[in-house]
């Protein structure tokens, strides 16, 4: 294994270990706060904790055994590095993460009486479920058009979340507005990245494949191929396009997941005469 690849893999594993430690500390902290929280709030945060576990441990698994799905490239020649296994773990983890946001958005929308947020909270998980199906289509067939649809749906979902938070802004207490501002800023940056960088990248790849007359696999062929074929590579050239997003995804995104467990209890803004 080249030095740069080893250092990157060691970074992913180290961050994942710290993430698991942070999740464990969060679980203990939530237990200590139980008596201070209303029963329905504690139940919601407990569900947040369980959903966060799905994301934290799923990302840790993918950090330890990185896989580049479409070309079937992996760092290690073990059956757990199978594209089918990795994509299944990713699907479960990502649905857990989106469910966290949907749960919190529903809670905030109910507390502030915001109908936009309530509707958006119901739409987030179905939208990402469709995005996951599109991802599976691309992974199995090797056609990047599925990734174009997948990333577009992720961007749309984030935009929907930002719009909901903006509509909630006037209804929540002033003390919570700085947190809403941070979430909105991160959401806007994410939407911009998705539609200005990520979606165009996959679109360009698909156009290039179409121009070269690339032959795609059928879904059934893809299932067999993704289950059996694995190309082990330790070369930086094969992984360099994946390093940036994997490093951010398996660190910053996981920190957000853990932080959602301890989100404040939002209240409607009090109007004084």
Q: What CATH number has the domain bearing residue 127?
A: 1.20.1070
In a domain, 146, yes or no: yes
Q: Do the Cβ atoms of 21 and 255 come closer than 8 Å?
A: no
Contacts of residue 69, Cβ cutoff 8 Å, sequence gap at least 6: 83, 86, 87, 138, 139, 226
In a domain, 73, yes or no: yes
Q: Which two tokens stand for residue 205?
A: 């790849």
Backbone angles phi, psi at 240, to 5 degrees: -60, -30
In a domain, 268, yes or no: no
User: CA torsion 60→104→162→184, rounded to 10°?
Assistant: -70
- The highest-confidence range among 50-59, 166-175, 259-268, by mean pLDDT, is 50-59
Q: Do the Cβ atoms of 251 and 60 come closer than 8 Å?
A: no
Please give the residue that has the higher pLDDT: either 59 or 113: 59
CA distance 37 to 214: 57
In a domain, 45, yes or no: yes
Alpha helices, DSSP H, located in the chain: 3-33, 39-64, 83-112, 115-141, 145-168, 177-193, 199-211, 219-228, 236-249, 252-260
pLDDT band, very low/low/confident/very high, at 176 (cuts 50, 70, 90): confident
CA distance 23 to 1: 31
In a domain, 25, yes or no: yes
Q: Do the Cβ atoms of 145 and 138 come closer than 8 Å?
A: yes
Model confidence pLDDT, tens digit, residues 43-58? 999 999 999 999 999 9
Mean pLDDT of 214-219: 91
List, in sequence order, every residue forming a beta bridge with 232; answer none if it has no partner. 74
Burial (CB count <10 Å: 0-12, 13-18, 19+), residue 168 = buried
Q: Do the Cβ atoms of 36 and 6 come closer than 8 Å?
A: no
Burial (CB count <10 Å: 0-12, 13-18, 19+), residue 113 = exposed
pLDDT at position 269? 62
In a domain, 8, yes or no: yes
Q: Do the Cβ atoms of 79 and 65 come closer than 8 Å?
A: no
Model confidence pLDDT, tens digit, residues 134-146? 999 999 999 999 9
In a domain, 109, yes or no: yes
pTM: 0.90
In a domain, 273, yes or no: no
Strands in 73-74's sheet, in edge-to-edge order, are 67-68, 73-74, 231-232
Domain residues for 197?
Answer: 3-260
CA distance 187 to 191: 6
Domain total for the chain? Answer: 1
Model confidence pLDDT, tens digit, residues 84-104? 999 999 999 999 999 999 999
Tell me how crowded residue 248 is: count the other CB atoms within 10 A of its CB: 12
pLDDT at position 268? 65
| pLDDT over 70, % of the chain | 98
């Amino acid at each position: 294994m080249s030095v740069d690849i080893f250092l990157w893999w060691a970074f992913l594993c180290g961050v994942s270990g710290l993430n698991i430690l942070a999740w464990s500390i969060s679980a203990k902290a939530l237990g200590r706060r139980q008596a201070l929280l209303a029963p329905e709030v504690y139940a919601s945060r407990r569900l947040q904790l369980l959903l966060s576990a799905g994301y934290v441990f799923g990302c840790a698994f993918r950090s330890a055994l990185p896989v580049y799905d479409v070309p079937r490239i992996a760092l290690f020649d073990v059956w757990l590095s199978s594209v089918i296994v990795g994509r299944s773990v990713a699907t479960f983890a990502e649905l857990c993460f989106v469910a966290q946001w949907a749960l919190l958005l529903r809670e905030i929308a109910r507390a502030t009486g915001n109908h936009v947020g309530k509707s958006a909270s119901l739409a987030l998980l179905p939208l990402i479920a469709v995005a996951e199906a599109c991802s599976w289509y691309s992974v199995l067939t090797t056609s990047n058009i599925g990734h174009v649809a997948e990333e577009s749906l992720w961007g749309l979902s984030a935009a929907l979340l930002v719009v909901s938070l903006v509509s909630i802004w006037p209804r929540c207490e002033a003390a919570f507005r700085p947190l809403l501002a941070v979430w909105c800023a991160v959401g806007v940056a994410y939407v911009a990245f998705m539609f200005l960088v990520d979606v165009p990248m996959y679109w360009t790849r698909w156009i290039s494949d179409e121009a070269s007359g690339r032959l795609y696999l059928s879904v059934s062929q893809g299932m067999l191929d993704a289950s059996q074929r694995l190309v082990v590579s330790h070369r930086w050239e094969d992984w360099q396009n994946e390093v940036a997003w994997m490093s951010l995804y398996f660190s910053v995104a996981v920190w957000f997941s853990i932080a959602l467990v301890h989100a404040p209890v939002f209240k409607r803004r009090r109007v004084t005469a």
